[in-house]
Structure 1
């Protein structure tokens, strides 16, 4: 009897969502996986932090029902999306009198959007006609442009009204691409709309994590890898990756190990520094956009009428917030805690913590008509300065395969249909894992 074939070994460098995905997929396929992470905690740019004795995310997230790869990975590592995520129908609901009220009923597509449009409050007839025209035209175009342009140019092309742009398209663009519409890629925006508004009804659902981001996936991923004989090394910064015969050698301050394959799931600048002269050509550089989340703590009996609201930002009025979440309706241990998200937040973050939190609390109090919310018990602004790449028209993004044998990139910045989202990261990690398996089992 012949000896059993040796299982391939794989190093995954970087334990953000892309790296954790690659490691889980490889472990599930039987590879001997070692996951390296420079930080002590996993999660990368979507992680949890401790503030005032509470576990908070470094950015409040909304996912979509269209995130099929993310939902599949959650199930694979033992997380039940039905309990870990609050499932809401597509909606853009502003505080009473401050915008519009758009809620899609739970009907088959596309009837859910048609009924939502008919019932929408706060939109004039011309706004509704413009929205219907855009949706019909995008479907006719198969959600594809011959040449990319900015989201603003796309909306102008389809005669979208100023009110509809302000209350629907601009906040959706900021939430999905974290890039202002005047600079955001229309094609990538259409990709997101295609998979949500243009797909089955559940694909447009909004999914809000009930668990902290660390518990939602990275921690469960680490346990999954460990259970399959893998090795998760936190606090292990990789200093160098070099070719060693037919293998790759990965160096840290305390170890030097050989692997059949490597997935580099770090930011592109870090990946470029690790691989240096071995790269056939330099990795592209990216501009980045920050995201700020302001957490406002009130007495535990403080509760909003809805789990989350859209907010109309207005710099001149000192209104920076774009989405407002009642964390107590997501996690009972966070009763009285509100989270306000500011995408593409460079200008807001420049104000400093105290000034920004004061302005956001006043905005919340004003639009909700609840003066007591202007004075939270404590507040904290968390800014992820390099939260996403600026998703601009015609942006060139590298593929997973960069021409090095058995070494692949993973990360939300790599080439795929999506912007820098959790789904984009997961898709990239899965693609890198498939490439490793193809290279090592051929």
Structure 2
């Protein structure tokens, strides 16, 4: 296989959101780069893409995970605009909220917590004042947490589990149950007794503690996850002469034999040469590729643990519509209550009326259940919580489980940076060093950062070549 001719040849291995972001950034901001994006799957998007449902669902497109973005995801929003996607059309913007189906004034059920569209930080004060389902002690505890964390700059000197942090801040059992625990599990995909407080605080900084009210908004995709970014990125890249290859696995990487030489890569069994490489494959795959080249880095990547996420889709009559686009749910696994959030897909995508998506994060126990049994339990939970008995009998259901959805975001986790000791090779992925957990924003940021590293390497290499040619030029009258 011959590499693209002309320009600075860059291989981006892996077509998830990190790889797509790196390729787009290279094509947009590093003129002359000849980009090849290679993805082993048949479609781009990695762990945020759409799948054909199959079975009773037929040709229905289902995301392999329901996502919520934040208004603070500035790099993701910028990248969407870069590839021609208008966030105002592609995303439903909602104020920060945690709303349960049942929130009686006596506080016996869930709660209704929604931030008014006031300037920050008054939006949080307004949400507290208006919140239903929280007692006075609960509201005071929440306010105390927010004010103390703000004074700390949302930074801990010594990381600890989220559960320990909540106890230090004297949070009430009810605030833990209805707010902190579900937020922690949703954002970090790690149970609070094992989750990093420092990373959790960074998420809260940009949501509850945001100084710009719009940064705390919740953004729900109206498009399937493939159409939201990866497909648009492919069109953008191809329009700029880049090569996008799907169903193409990177088999091995060979570094340059000498400074300024080329990387060699096996793409679908054929060798190609490149000036630089962005390794945007999953951490476990990157570890295998790097093991013979950089064993210490490969060991760090291989040491990451993972947590699954399950999304249960339930199709009902097309006339079904929830009162809100999404609700929080009270989970209780020992009681067979697995759902943590339910989304009305019909309110996001007009082509999916009557389709509900229920998310189970940190889904280790749920993933071990039979899929039909899990779907039946979730349907029964919806019927009870939403007081709609008909929800216990969907027309069809489909459970999609990403077994390695995210790394386990534990205290003091060792996450590598995008720059490596290998000349001309950068990492990209949501597992790289960041104050955020494994989110789309982390993936996109890492891709953009990797492109910057490759751009700097290119500049340095061109400078060295220029100096080499200058030093090696024959002096007037000399004989070579």
TM-score range, shorter-chain basis? over 0.9
SS of corresponding position for 1:428: helix
Aligned to 2:39: 37
CA contact (8 A) 2:98 2:111 kept: yes
**Structure 1 residue 23 and structure 2 residue 23: aligned?**
yes
Larger Rg: 2
CA contact (8 A) 1:43 1:213 kept: yes
After superposition, give the CA deviation of every residue in 1:386-433 in whole Å (9 maximum; x if it has no partner). 000000000001111120001011100011111111011011111100
SS of corresponding position for 1:332: coil
CA contact (8 A) 2:96 2:207 kept: no
Matches of 1:410 and 1:12, distance apart in 2: 9
Aligned to 1:271: 286
Matches of 1:330 and 1:268, distance apart in 2: 32
Q: Where do residues 192-271 of structure 1 align in structure 2 (5 Å cutoff)?
A: 192-199=203-210, 200-245=212-257, 246-271=261-286
Task: Count residues with an aligned counterpart.
Answer: 437
SS of corresponding position for 2:418: coil
Aligned to 1:71: 77
**TM-score normalised per structure 2:** 0.90
Matches of 2:78 and 2:297, distance apart in 1: 33
Matches of 2:271 and 2:36, distance apart in 1: 12
Displacement after TM superposition at 1:257 (Å):
1.4
SS of corresponding position for 2:205: helix
SS of corresponding position for 2:319: coil
SS of corresponding position for 1:339: strand
Q: Where do residues 289-368 of structure 1 align in structure 2 (5 Å cutoff)?
A: 289-368=307-386
**TM-score normalised per structure 1:** 0.97
After superposition, give the CA deviation of every residue in 1:115-138 in whole Å (9 maximum; x if it has no partner). 110000000000000000000000
Matches of 1:162 and 1:243, distance apart in 2: 55
Matches of 1:309 and 1:423, distance apart in 2: 23
SS of corresponding position for 1:32: strand
Aligned to 2:106: none
CA contact (8 A) 1:397 1:413 kept: yes
Question: Structure 2: where are the runs of 5+ without partners?
Answer: 1-5, 104-108, 461-480
Displacement after TM superposition at 1:45 (Å):
1.0
Matches of 2:459 and 2:336, distance apart in 1: 58
CA contact (8 A) 1:280 1:403 kept: no
Aligned to 1:3: none
After superposition, give the CA deviation of every residue in 1:69-121 in whole Å (9 maximum; x if it has no partner). 00000000000000100100000000024300001011100011101100000
Aligned to 1:87: 93
SS of corresponding position for 2:206: helix
Matches of 2:383 and 2:295, distance apart in 1: 55
Q: Where do residues 33-182 of structure 1 align in structure 2 (5 Å cutoff)?
A: 33-51=35-53, 52=57, 53-97=59-103, 98-182=109-193
Matches of 2:296 and 2:370, distance apart in 1: 39
Out of 374, 380, 386, the residue aligned to residue 404 of structure 2 is 386
SS of corresponding position for 2:252: strand
Displacement after TM superposition at 1:280 (Å):
5.6
Question: Structure 1: where are the runs of 5+ without partners?
Answer: 1-5
* RMSD of aligned alpha carbons: 1.0
Displacement after TM superposition at 1:253 (Å):
3.0
Matches of 1:258 and 1:351, distance apart in 2: 46
Displacement after TM superposition at 1:276 (Å):
2.3
Aligned to 1:408: 426
Matches of 2:353 and 2:66, distance apart in 1: 16
Displacement after TM superposition at 1:255 (Å):
2.7
Displacement after TM superposition at 1:247 (Å):
1.4
Aligned to 1:430: 448
Displacement after TM superposition at 1:195 (Å):
1.9
CA contact (8 A) 1:279 1:402 kept: no
Displacement after TM superposition at 1:198 (Å):
1.9
CA contact (8 A) 1:280 1:402 kept: no
Matches of 1:324 and 1:273, distance apart in 2: 37
SS of corresponding position for 2:351: helix
